[in-house]
């Protein structure tokens, strides 16, 4: 019985790292072939690669924040930066207009760590026990959002704000809570959302109309 329990512990210890992030790479490099018709868990490797495949210049410039959220995400993940395929890392730059927000969302495949470049940001995440952890971050501050937990950022300054984010996944995935519930296709039934939020169907429909 003791040997059986010990074997189970060893097995769990061996499996655990594979659950922590992307799968381990099996070769030195595997630049993503985004044009390949082959569908698999990740992306197949390009045959011919150059140094340009491992270079991305998109984070040096601020993004256009003229939108409803007042924010812009510039992603350096495998979809825009094929060289990170199989490496288990990616980055992003998020820019904010005054009052801009990165609304509550989750990254199902990655923990996120941020470094503030400019401005004053209120950042926070909520645990599965519904406990909020929040801080006001300024230039040079670092904050981490655990994998899969709902989190947000809001510009609390009078000027623009921005930060660089790092992820332990080549493609972290992003699920914005409001869009997921009120802009799904096909739509989530209004009576389901009405009961969940304890409001009337007409109120749900009014919210859905804002996301059309």
Binding site membership: which residues?
102, 105, 107, 112, 151
Both tokens of 42, joined, read 């990740």
Annotated binding-site residue numbers for Mn(2+): 105, 107, 112, 151
Question: What is the rounded distance in angstroms from the CA atom of residue 63 to the CA atom of residue 157?
Answer: 18
Annotated binding-site residue numbers for oxalate: 102, 107, 112
Question: What is the rounded distance in angstroms from the CA atom of residue 117 to the CA atom of residue 107?
Answer: 22
Both tokens of 139, joined, read 């230039």
Contact between 175 and 106 (Cβ < 8 Å):
yes
Task: Count other Cβ atoms within 10 Å, centred on residue 46.
Answer: 19
Contact between 90 and 78 (Cβ < 8 Å):
yes
């Amino acid at each position: 019985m003791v040997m059986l329990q010990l074997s189970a512990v060893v097995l769990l210890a061996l499996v655990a790292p594979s659950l922590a992030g992307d799968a381990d790479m099996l070769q030195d490099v595997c630049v993503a072939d985004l044009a390949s018709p082959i569908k698999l868990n990740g992306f197949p490797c390009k045959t011919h690669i150059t140094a340009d495949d491992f270079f991305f210049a998109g984070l040096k410039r601020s993004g256009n924040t003229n939108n409803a959220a007042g924010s812009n995400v510039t992603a350096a993940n495998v979809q825009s930066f094929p060289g990170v395929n199989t490496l288990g890392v990616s980055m992003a730059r998020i820019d904010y207009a005054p009052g801009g927000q990165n609304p509550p969302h989750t990254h199902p495949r990655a923990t996120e760590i941020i470094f503030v470049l400019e401005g004053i940001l209120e950042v926070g995440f909520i645990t599965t026990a519904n406990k909020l952890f929040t801080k006001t971050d300024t230039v040079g501050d670092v904050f981490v959002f655990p994998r899969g937990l709902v989190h947000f950022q809001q510009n609390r300054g009078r000027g623009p704000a921005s930060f660089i984010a790092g992820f332990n996944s080549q493609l972290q995935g992003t699920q914005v809570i409001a869009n997921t519930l009120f802009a799904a296709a096909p739509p989530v039934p209004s009576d389901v959302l009405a009961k969940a939020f304890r409001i009337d169907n007409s109120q749900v429909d009014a919210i859905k109309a804002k996301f059309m």
